[in-house]
Structure 1
Amino acid sequence: MPTTPPPLGLMLDVDGPIASPETRTIAIPEITADLVSLAAAGIPIAFITGRSEHFITNEVVAPLVAGGLPKGVRMFGVCEKGAVWFTIDDQGRGDVSVDTTVGLPAPVVAALKELVERDFSDAMFFDETKLAMVSVEQRTDVASAFYAQRQSEFEAAAFEVMAERGVGVRHGERESADSTGAVPFRIDTTIISTDIESVRLDKNHAAERALNFFAESGPLPRVWRSVGDSRGDYLMADHLHEAGFDAAHVDVRPSDGVLERPYPIIEIDDVIHDEAGARFLAYWVDKLGIR
């Protein structure tokens, strides 16, 4: 166990800053190499994502292990915005933990899957790998403009499916409470997917889970950087700042609108998504002298 705090900690969204939104893989090899270098230098790295354990294991962890991830790294995965979590080391993914209290009722999951396969399979597919939330994702052979139109139609239909079954749900300004008056679920839109999830799940809760894990394995760094491509990703830095750390957030898709925050917001020149993520990681590898 380390006795002195490392100079940096990282909390990284995956889709966008690490994995290409187009290929859904780590398409820039330097990202893998620099993550391995940073982890080898003792930097705590958490992947904070809405993605499933299956996706992170295959598209992130496997390349890191193949790239030479050493023993003793401080690396952690928090998937489905806090519902699923596991350790990561030189052998790959550790045991998976799941918060079973935040899942949708099984009959509603089945109805949403049927809705996708019956009416919307021309633009999207149902993610079978999720363990707590429901996610529907853009097909890679479908144009983004067409998907966006169908996504809007799907989300309206999904809202009706849930409301008709008495499940409390919120989507934008629309809200339908359950029989107790509660609204425990929301429909959340991203550029390549729709997540239907518990309102108890979000990136700030996932960040808290990651910090608690890292605190068990040694002293925590004072300086933390979170990286993401959506407005919800700011919640990682929100939690870090509120917990008293020197936090800043790297927005790799600022065209969606940079939020006002009491900590620095970093933009990466004229590049976005994984190109910006690659440049950010390279900056810290050079700054720390570990290339």
Structure 2
Amino acid sequence: MEKLKPGIKIYADELSKIVQINSGLIHHSKQHSNELIFKDEKFSQKYESEAYLPKRDWRKLNLSEYKIIAGNNKDKKDYNSVFIGEIPQNIQLLFDGLNLKEAQSDDEVFRKFRENQNLISEINLLLNEFLENISQGSFRFMSLATNYANSEVVSLDKRKFPIGFTINDLKFIGIHKDSSETMTLHTAHKFGNRISLNIGKESRYLLLINLSMLQVYNMIKTKMNVHENEVNNKNITSYFMKLFPDYPVLKIEQPPYHYYIAPTDNCFHDGSTFGSSSLDIVMTYLGKFLI
């Protein structure tokens, strides 16, 4: 197992209670597929051909590992920090009024938002006030999304969905980094971060490799010629997974009405609902958030 390196720091109350670590990554074909839950039916989770998943040997961090990842407020930036926190109580009470926790599908969730416009206006007003207090600049709403219960990883490339797709068409990406057409490995840290709010019924998890893209790039340089192999923003995930499968992954619990803030353009990550039995519901905003 590769040793955990100093890199992206994590800030949270009672950090040791919500973070676990494992022994690395595994190609999806080498790990027994779990059964995600959709409308009380179970389906074997399928993946894209290059998808890598975290190994399931989760454990608590030892003291030296804890010291490596724990935030210390030194050189704290939006691109090198992850924050876990709780949504203000007044906003939680408004979300309670939507009764989202009984929803069984994304259609039900969206319908509850459409049918409660006055309540949504109140939520938006208070959420904007909250986000303005932790934002270093402008921010924008990205999405209201749902994920299946008991899903090992949650991210999908929805651009590949066929017309009239069924659950059997879904192929999950695995641990990855976000990106845009204008991004390079040397500019990934300039693209801000995201805040994702868990407004579902159960805890969900942020899966995280605590290395920035420049750290990953420099690690790959020790194994191969990055210029001859044209290592770039599009293929760095595949190279890292194959060259460093024993680098540990962190699993960070995000209880209901808690948020995570993470630089998802600048690190490998995904969400997970593994172990849950209800619909996962998440609201996400993009910006430059710092606490």
Smaller-chain TM-score bracket: under 0.3
Q: TM-score scaled to structure 1, two decimals?
A: 0.25
Q: TM-score scaled to structure 2, two decimals?
A: 0.25
